[in-house]
Amino acid sequence: MPEITPLSETAFVTLAMCEKTKKPYGITVDKGEFGLYKMVWSFKIDYEKAQREGYDRIKVSGGIVEDANFPGCPYCESKQWYSCSNCHTIICYHGQSHVTCPKCGCKGELTQVEKINIEGSAY
C-alpha cells in the first residue's frame, strides 16, 4: 500500500474526469511549499455524492504540483493531467497534443502554463 501524505486543515477536494472512461473522480488538494497547491490523493466518486459533498463548489487559482505519493487517476492510473480551458475540469492526459474535453466537448491544442484555475465543476 502506498504511503499517505498527511493533510493540513486547509486541504480540500475538487473533481476531475478520466479521459478514457469519462467517469468522475475526486482529487484531494492541499497547500504545498512555495505557495503551490499539491495533488495528494485521488478516489472514485459518483456524480450525486460529489454534488452532495459540495465538491462542485471549490474554486482556487495558482500553481499546482503532484505530491510524491499522488497515485494518479483511479481509473486509468495516469499521473499526467490537463485543465480544460472552457470548463476548467481536470482531465487525465495521455500524451496527445490535441484534446477534446470529455465533459464539455471543447477541442484544442495543449499549452503549458504556470498557474491554473481549479474548479470543482458540476457534472
> What is the 8-class DSSP label of residue 114?
S
In tens, the pLDDT along 90-119 reads 899 998 889 999 989 999 998 776 666 666
In tens, the pLDDT along 62-96 reads 888 889 899 999 999 999 988 888 888 889 999 88
C-alpha cell read off for 105: 466537448
CA-CA distance, 75 to 17, in Å (whole number)? 10
Place of cell 492541499: 30
Residue type, 109: E
In 58-112, alpha helices (H): none
Structural domain boundaries of the chain? 12-119
